[in-house]
Structure 1
């Protein structure tokens, strides 16, 4: 679980500083720095020249409070992760978190005091994800020529993330996610090559190769009695081609499959205009039996106008609302509103990004139909998915959902009292 070498704890309460020190010491963190206010913390950051990996920051402190400190972190171009803690009302924590995100800081989470061991564990797990994402985004961007060659060489391959029905745990579908299997560097992060595909006009050929491989995999699964829905991402740009529905139907029928096996998720990187052509293409896709999903609902371009103008059969809630809804009232309200829309419009409701038991429980409470996320399984190649499906015999028992999570620590909710007392005494 230990992913950091240098940690900074900022809190004006010596007992809470000691508890935090005990936790990080148990993780064998190389260097643990402490400060009683934001001004002293900034001096430590300057002295360490950017070596601090993770900051645990209180909000209500003398001299320089946590909100001011976050602004100074932005000015210092800090690239580590930050966990925000406070005894203040949750609404104060939430606005501090949103403010930090506008500063483009890597926020691991916001937690109310008193902190328990599971709170620390969750912050560290989220911080590790931030570190992975930031590392991926900092790698060299690919060029259109490199991507075109990769498409031609069949290096763009689908990885499948399972979906399960909330009602009974049945493995009901997968989402096909594009991955670049580079012969020299291994898997290339989607955030590096998908924007390149969209900007260079290669999104069409890349999507077509994804469709071809996904349809072939689905046909093979049918022979293995794996009869599930398959979701494929498409961009609004592809809906500008009047022949798109006919080509899709032809590809599916040639494989001996029915269009009803497939859902096309319209992603929201660019706006889906309510033009006559786009409306015609989507309507014809539905007439041919394909399902259409509004992806990442609640963010960016995925909006109420689209729900009104296009015949969607599925509403997919963006992961930012799912993962924030357990402790963010606004995100929870958005999730509830999405559930109402789905029920009133007779749409299937899918929650993506479910990564822990609390988020699963929330999906159950809001009557979500299907769930996908790391709690269930990570995206995997077709062969691994086949083995995973068969090992579960097509069903994930609902009473085992919590056991799918990685075991991140012992049973104790608090750090060792002896360790805390030793630290305070010292």
Structure 2
């Protein structure tokens, strides 16, 4: 299968050099251009698998190009090759990823043949892009509050579960509950298609209760098959402004036969309380009720070391922006090492999100990360498929007998 690569580089020698490096690989077709306008025009006319862009260019620069690239309906994957500082390239990467682009790597010039091999390997391993998600987002009309509530009641809005694997045992040890909508016309929709509407209509509290109930019921099903699986549930921090929320969540958990110690609420980084006292009060009271508590998306947005140290978290989830590419980016590697060392000193379970390559997985294992989740492990699954995954991973009788003899 031929991979199409576009190179944006204003220096003629560098442009030719990069074109030769990529073009000498079998199955790679290369185009190269010297300015942003030409690159955007080519992307509009052709479907590229990868765009390799410089940052420091006269006229429109690489940052402006990335912004324009992200505005396209189906943008290609991106790599950055520049003489800019590592921190500037890391910042450009975060900007690109926040715009929805998939960044395969950042490379310092002069680019070596080995760098090109790594990028092409990452391109080969990247999960196939699908046309379904953009089409869903384009045709899904804005649901109103009545439609969303009805979907919660009739089970169309439901919880799927993404497994978390231990880096010690290699087995599934926990799961994160993620909402999906089995839409009657559009099929299964991911949260990005409808979660903004849930937020606009003020239904996050109702969604939280629905996800809690679905998680407890799934745990009961798994227990009947011999598995105890802790489940994490997303909780927008602004809901902690409701002072009796911890009491309500505990009462609901006990009434449904759940166990607080097997449930963990992930405090999302994209919202906060109007008064910081509500945040700390709610966090403390959730822990006092026996629930686990995680800082979600650590390393991005509103999350901070201050909160991590001073809130009674039991778990920290490292944002995918710090995980993806850590094997080939020294700055990301150093940042991860610092975060993991701190979290280990605090006695926290450390979960890395967005793990999508064997190389990144190896780095996380070497640095002492506890658990991982991401497409390399598994996508989110309906409860029945998650059960099959647990069955597949269960030790066979002969393995158990051998372990007993050790």
> Which TM-score tier does this pair reach, normalised by the shorter chain?
0.7 to 0.9
Q: Are residue 98 (structure 1) and residue 113 (structure 2) matched?
A: no
Structure 1 vs Structure 2 CA RMSD: 3.4
Which whole-Å deviations, capped at 9, do the CAs of 1:45-76 have from their partners, x for residues lacking one? 53774434344336499xx6898366356457
Residues 1:346 and 2:347 aligned together: yes
Match of 1:38 among 34, 40, 48: 34
Q: 2:171·2:393 contact (CA, 8 Å) conserved in 1?
A: no
CA distance in 1, matches of 2:334, 2:177: 29
Q: Does 2:17 correspond to 1:15?
A: no
Contact kept? 2:53, 2:62, Cα under 8 Å: no
Shift of 1:136: 5.9
Deviation at residue 180 of structure 1 after TM alignment: 1.0
Q: TM-score under structure 2 normalisation?
A: 0.81
CA contact (8 A) 2:158 2:214 kept: yes
Shift of 1:150: 1.8
C-alpha separation between the residues in 1 aligned to 2:181 and 2:125?
A: 26
C-alpha separation in 2, matches of 1:392 and 1:318: 27
User: Is the contact between residue 38 and residue 69 of structure 1 (CA under 8 Å) also seen in structure 2?
Assistant: no
Q: Is the 8 A contact 1:87 1:113 kept in 2?
A: no
* Alignment map for 1:271-350 (pairs within 5 Å): 271-272=272-273, 275-350=276-351
**What does residue 359 of structure 1 align with?**
360
Q: Which residue does the alignment assign to 2:144?
A: 144
Gaps of 5+ in 2: 9-14, 397-406
Q: State whether residues 269 and 300 of structure 1, in contact with CA within 8 Å, keep that contact through their aligned partners in structure 2.
A: yes
Q: Is the 8 A contact 1:354 1:360 kept in 2?
A: yes
Kept in 1, the 8 Å contact 2:296–2:317? The answer is: yes
1:82 and 1:137 map into 2 onto residues whose CA distance is: 20
Q: Is the 8 A contact 1:71 1:103 kept in 2?
A: no
Higher mean C-alpha displacement, 168-177 vs 260-269: 168-177
Asked if the contact 2:67–2:96 (Cα under 8 Å) also holds between the matched residues in 1, the reply is: no
Equivalent pairs counted in the alignment come to 381
* Whole-angstrom CA distance in 2 between matches of 1:164 and 1:74: 35
Matches within 5 A, 1:244-283: 244-272=245-273, 275-283=276-284
| Residues 113 and 130 (structure 1), Cα distance of their counterparts in 2 relative to 1, 3 Å cut | farther
Q: Deviations over 1:80-134 (max 9, x none)?
A: 2243364868838935843872994835323543155553131355485597766
* Contact 1:156-1:180 within 8 A present in 2 as well: yes
User: Secondary structure of 2:194's match?
Assistant: helix
- Cα distance, 1:320 vs. partner? 1.1
> What SS is found at the alignment partner of 1:336?
helix
